[in-house]
């Protein structure tokens, strides 16, 4: 059966997450329902990452197998037609080798987290950012983030329900930038690793926000990491500011 890789963008707000669920809407369910309009008995699709409820996708990757040899452009156009009105878009579809796997072939994932510091409520970005109403300092957060880089036991920043076999991961990048917005600032956290633990990025951001607010010193993040204790973590931030931005492969199927 011909195999296709799909690059997918979505607003996570209406969904209970990526993974198909019997009684709640999911992104996977929406895409599979659109595929079912094109062919009967399409196998389940597999994705590079199972984003949680409320988390958005800028460059999620999934693969599917079709009975018909579809032109990739026509496949993406047909899927986008049947995905309406769900806030899900197939940015590109490409034919890939039979051994390509959206999850297991991936060598890195990149996440973006958007945190807005502003007194006035957000309007246009509601549901797309995490907002706090007090000022944050960029430089202490950047200093604290450096303690998290490299290979560590990230038990402190791992959800209790995480199913990963090991808490040991390598964090390749955690870059923070600040952008001025009307009457406030937006802080963008760019996080990159081969793979992540459940709630790891949201645990990072929630902890670093405490540093930016002055409640924690940068060195406290190092102490929390070395404690290897979930109780040492700062508050886990809400999901609406988190985006799966990009998935990397040894050879980019979309290049």
- Residues marked active site are found at 52
Name the percent of the chain in helix, strand, coil, to the closest 5: 25, 30, 45
- Per-residue buried b or exposed e for 10-41, using 16+ beta carbons within 10 Å of the residue's own CB: bbbebbbbbbbeeeeebbbbbbbebbeebeee
Q: Which tokens sit at 244? A: 């799966």
The Cα–Cα gap between 37 and 45 comes to 15
The Cα–Cα gap between 191 and 237 comes to 15
Contact at 8 Å (CB) between 7 and 254? yes
């Amino acid at each position: 059966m011909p195999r296709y890789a799909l690059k997918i963008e979505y607003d996570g707000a209406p969904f209970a997450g990526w993974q198909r669920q019997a009684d709640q809407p999911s992104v996977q369910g929406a895409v599979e329902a659109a595929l079912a309009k094109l062919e009967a008995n399409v196998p389940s699709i597999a994705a590079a990452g199972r984003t949680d409820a409320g988390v958005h996708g800028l460059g999620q990757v999934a693969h599917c197998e079709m009975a018909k040899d579809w032109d990739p452009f026509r496949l993406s156009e047909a899927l986008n037609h049947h995905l309406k009105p769900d806030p899900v878009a197939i940015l590109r579809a490409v034919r890939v080798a039979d051994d390509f796997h959206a999850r297991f072939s991936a060598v890195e994932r990149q996440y973006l987290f958007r945190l807005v510091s502003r007194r006035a409520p957000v309007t246009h970005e509601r549901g797309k950012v995490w907002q706090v109403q007090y000022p944050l300092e960029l430089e202490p957060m950047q200093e604290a983030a450096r303690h998290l880089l490299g290979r560590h036991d990230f038990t402190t920043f791992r959800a209790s329900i995480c199913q990963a076999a090991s808490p040991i991961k390598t964090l390749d990048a955690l870059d923070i930038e600040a952008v001025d917005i009307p009457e406030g600032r937006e802080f963008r956290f760019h996080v990159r690793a081969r793979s992540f633990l459940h709630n790891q990025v949201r645990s990072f951001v929630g902890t670093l926000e405490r540093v930016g607010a002055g409640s924690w010193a940068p060195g406290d993040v190092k102490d929390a990491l070395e404690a290897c204790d979930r109780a040492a973590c700062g508050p886990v931030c809400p999901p609406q500011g988190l985006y799966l931005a990009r998935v990397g492969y040894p050879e980019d199927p979309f290049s």
